[in-house]
Amino acid sequence: MDSLHVVVNGARYDLEGVDSRTTLLDLIRERLHLTGSKKGCDHGQCGACTVLVNGRRINACLSLALTHDGDAITTIEGLAGGDTLHPVEAAFLEHDGFQCGYCTPGQICSAAGMLDEARQGQPSYVTDDADHVELTDAEIRERMSGNLCRCGAYVNIVAAIRDAARPAHGS
Amino acid sequence: MKPFVYERARDAAQAVAALVADPDAVFLGGGTNLVDHMRLGVASPDRVVDVTRLPFDRIEQLADGRVCIGANVRNSELAAHRLIRTRYPMLSQALLAGASGQLRNMATTAGNLMQRTRCVYFQNVTTPCNKRQPGSGCSAIGGYTRYHAILGASEHCIAVHPSDMAVAMSALDARVVVLGPSGERRIPLVDFHRLPGDEPERDTVLRHGELITAVELPALPVAAHSLYRKVRDRRSFAFALVSVAAALDVRGGTIADVRIAFGGVAHKPWRATRAEEILRGTDATPEQFERAADTELAAARSQPGNAFKVKMLRNTLVAALQELAGAA
């Protein structure tokens, strides 16, 4: 059993007795009781557990909690600023980017991280000109391929992210 | 998951010593493969030494033109780095062809090299597997073989190495820098991974306790004109059926230099040295590309479920070389 210090959604947690087998996802859900992040496949294949660690999106199910000592973690519960939704959250509502909603927290966290990656100029497999990354639908689909939606709401998910990517919505 | 002791390495020498002192200890990188294996019961270490905070997180150009990639550089950072995109585009493309955005943010350079096969029988602890449990038999032979080897396999194992990154590094003559209990050594990437032979449980030539600290790329001008072409069952986030990393330098219609490696077809990244030999100094024509592919693939031995890979790989190589020759 080990101690762990993390900041989750701006709140500092000093935790004792963390079992080394605990994943970041289980810590967030079972210990911190932030159940927005979902456990889908538990193998890093579906993306439902996506959270931001120091601003970068990762699969929380494949990450041991103890490796995150000192990290700042943002979950779906921490994306909005008070009553002001994050642009990706607002766009998902506007475009009906979900059906059952189970994959949605992961989709939204992943999209938020992905938009930052694109703003920083990170290329994807379908990028032609890495000096001018433009988020076409093909780019959005490729960059979001780590998030599955079993309801198949992809058309509206892509539309929501395309909308959130517009400069006026830049966060 | 079996209980284990977690410790964070203070420095590289201490990390090496921790493994040397414990035969059941392992290094932890991004965790994307190891944590999954611990959950599945494929791996059950009693000590996990986290090396991700060691200061091997830089990409540097050395005075002689080599590029040194720190072992902890994340796959997404490496793919996006300007030096890699401009001087070794096949490596950037290979990284971006692998996994998902989330996984590339987690996975490290060293961890990518150390990832293990995705053979379904290896990952399923209820089925015999010589790689997971030496001597138990190979369930893939006579089983589901769509994703299995056509080159260099043995009667004991027909699994393939899953990495895209390592295929490009093989073509680029990369070297793996390793720290062990008796000091540092450099291993050519083409010799780093093994063919299965009668010891399929050994993926690499690393000895227990040896820690990867970096990967070095030679200056290699031909690499600036290179690509990575991957064929898979879905367009994104899937392992390769076959893949080709190729670099080509054509001058006046003649091939001055060439580098080729295959992925998804062998227990290790498959450096296509026979094809390179045929192409060096010949005309850059489709006929020569086909002859080179046929010569390299003469040794191919397929299974009932993956015979399609031989023609698929031949066509992928020819297409990759034609694209490079056409854009020369």
Per-domain residue ranges of chain A = 2-78, 87-169
Asked if A66 is an interface residue toward chain B (Cβ–Cβ < 8 A), one would say yes
Residues of B in contact with A117 (CB under 8 A): 76, 101
What is the distance in angstroms between the Cα of B82 and the nearest Cα belonging to chain A? 9
Query: Quick one: pLDDT at residue A167?
Result: 74
Banded model confidence at residue A7, pLDDT cuts 50, 70, 90? very high
Q: Tell me the Ramachandran region of residue A131: left when phi exceeds 0, alpha when psi lies from -120 to 50, beta otherwise.
A: alpha
Candidates B2, B44, B100, B123, partner chain A, best to mutate (most A CBs within 10 A): B100
Q: Given an 8 Å threshold on Cβ–Cβ distance, is A144 in contact with B36?
A: no
CATH number of B225-326: 3.30.390.50
Pairing of strands B183-188, B175-180: antiparallel
Q: Which chain B residues have a beta carbon less than 8 Å from that of A58?
A: 102, 105-106
User: Is A116's Cβ below 8 Å from some Cβ in B?
Assistant: no
Tell me if ipTM is over 0.95: yes
How many CB atoms lie under 10 A from the CB of residue B286? 12
A111, closest residue in chain B (CA to CA)? B101
Q: What is the pLDDT of residue A131?
A: 84
Q: pLDDT tens for residues B272-310?
A: 999 999 999 999 999 999 999 999 999 999 999 999 999
Nearest-CA distance A93 → chain B (Å): 24
What gap in Å lies between CA B246 and CA B90, rounded to an integer? 7
pLDDT score of A171 more than 50: no
- Domain A2-78 -> CATH class: alpha beta
Residues in A closer than 8 angstroms to B96, CB to CB, are 123-125, 127
pLDDT, residue B29, reads: 98
A chain contacts of residue B8, beta-carbon cutoff 8 Å: 67, 69
CA angle, B134 then B108 then A138, to 5° = 110
- For residue B35, give the nearest of A64, A141, A143 by CB distance: A64
Span A62-75, average pLDDT: 98
Q: Count CA atoms closer than 13 A to B312's CA, side-chain side.
A: 21
The partner residues of A95 in beta bridges, in order of sequence, read none
Residue A129's pLDDT is 86
Residue B6 has its nearest CB partner, among A64, A142, A144, at: A64
Task: With CB atoms and an 8 Å threshold, state whether B76 touches A64.
Answer: no
Q: Do A57 and B102 touch (CB under 8 A)?
A: yes
Chain B closest-CA separation from residue A109 CA (Å) = 11
In order of A76, B129, B200, the CA distances from B305 in angstroms are: 43, 18, 21
Q: Give, in order, the Cα–Cα distances in Å from B310 to each of A115, B180, B267, B320.
A: 40, 39, 16, 15
| CATH of region A87-169 | 1.10.150.120
- Name residues of chain B where pLDDT drops below 50: none
Which of the four CATH numbers 3.30.43.10, 3.40.50.300, 3.10.20.740, 3.30.70.980 does domain B5-52 have? 3.30.43.10
Look at residue A1 and tell me whether its pLDDT is greater than 70. Answer: no
First to last CA, chain A: 39
Average pLDDT over residues A51-67: 98
pLDDT tens by residue, B26-81: 999 999 999 999 999 999 999 999 999 999 999 999 999 999 999 999 999 999 99
Q: Which of B27, B102, B164, B239 to mutate to test the interface with A (most CBs of A within 10 A)?
A: B102
Closest CA to B111 of B160, B149, B144, B70: B70
Domain chopping of chain B, boundaries: 5-52, 225-326
Nearest Cα to Cα of residue B147 among B228, B233, B237:
B233
* Count of CB atoms situated within 10 Å of the CB of A151: 12
Q: Which residues contact A145 (CB under 8 A, 6 or more apart)?
A: B100, B101, B235, B236, B237
Confidence band (pLDDT; 50, 70, 90) for A170? very low
Tokens of B293: 């592919």
Average pLDDT over residues A88-104: 98
